[in-house]
């Protein structure tokens, strides 16, 4: 499949690398490819610059958001929650129309420090905002409830755990579930329409506190039933 991954951070790298490894044709989208490749410093979290990752993944193409999206069958939003609507606007509504739009972003607000709060919640969600802003895209909210490495290698936990899908289009969700299974996910719960993204986005406050209490981000929720 031709897949665009919008965002060059840890999530974008993890998703793009895994999809490319599985044989998909992957283009990573960024605001300014030359500027992205020119950065040589680590990011705020201490992660190495994208150029280092790109050198190790020469088969993945880097392009502008719009150039990445235009040729894709499926688009992954791996940008930050705060940047999401801007990034998707740059990708272009026409370039997203009719396509599966996988939304991994969380509406985290770091303006008051750590842990962040949520800039949309409870009566609305970022997933719904994305679907309203791009009504011709088939938005599927998924993978926003675990860290980047576990998103794409869930079996590294050594035990089955759960991921959730939310979206209005059953066929789009089926395509996403197939990708999730190719990553190793064996317990996918379809929560229902995109409104249910409120539930998964509001998992972040406990996720952040669990990371503090456990001293690691290598954990995930399993719905035992």
Residue ranges in contact with a second copy by CB under 8 A: 117-118, 121-123, 157, 159-161, 164, 189-192, 196, 198-200, 202-203, 205-210, 212-214, 216, 218-225
Q: Which is nearer to a second copy, 77 or 144 (CB)?
A: 144
Q: Which is nearer to a second copy, 175 or 202 (CB)?
A: 202
CB of 109 to a second copy, least distance (A): 9
CB of 217 to a second copy, least distance (A): 10
Q: Which is nearer to a second copy, 2 or 218 (CB)?
A: 218
CB of 140 to a second copy, least distance (A): 15
Q: What is residue 153's DSSP assignment? A: -
In 49-196, which ranges are continuous DSSP H helix?
A: 50-56, 65-70, 84-91, 93-96, 126-133, 148-152, 170-183
CB of 118 to a second copy, least distance (A): 6
**Which burial class, exposed, middle or buried, applies to 77 when counting CB atoms under 10 A from its CB (0-12, 13-18, 19+)?**
buried
**Which burial class, exposed, middle or buried, applies to 146 when counting CB atoms under 10 A from its CB (0-12, 13-18, 19+)?**
buried
């Amino acid at each position: 499949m031709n897949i665009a991954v919008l965002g060059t951070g840890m999530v974008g790298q993890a998703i793009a690398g895994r999809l490319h490894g599985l044989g998909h044709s992957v283009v990573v989208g960024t605001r300014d490819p030359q500027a992205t490749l020119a950065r040589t410093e680590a990011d705020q979290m201490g992660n190495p610059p994208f150029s280092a990752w790109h050198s190790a993944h020469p088969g993945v193409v880097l392009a502008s958001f719009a150039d990445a999206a235009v040729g894709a069958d499926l688009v992954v939003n791996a940008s930050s929650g705060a940047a999401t609507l801007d990034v998707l606007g740059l990708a272009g509504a026409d370039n997203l129309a009719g396509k599966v739009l996988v939304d991994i972003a969380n509406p985290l607000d770091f303006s008051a420090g750590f842990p962040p709060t949520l800039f949309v919640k409870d009566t609305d969600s970022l997933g719904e905002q994305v679907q309203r802003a791009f009504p011709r895209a088939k938005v599927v909210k998924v993978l926003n409830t675990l860290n980047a490495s576990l998103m794409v290698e869930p079996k590294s936990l050594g035990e089955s755990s759960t991921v959730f899908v939310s979206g209005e289009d059953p066929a789009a969700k089926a395509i996403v579930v197939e990708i999730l299974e190719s990553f190793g996910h064996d317990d996918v719960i379809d929560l229902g329409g995109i409104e249910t993204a409120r539930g998964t986005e509001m998992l972040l406050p406990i996720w952040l506190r669990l990371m503090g209490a456990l001293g690691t981000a290598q954990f995930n929720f399993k719905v035992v039933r």
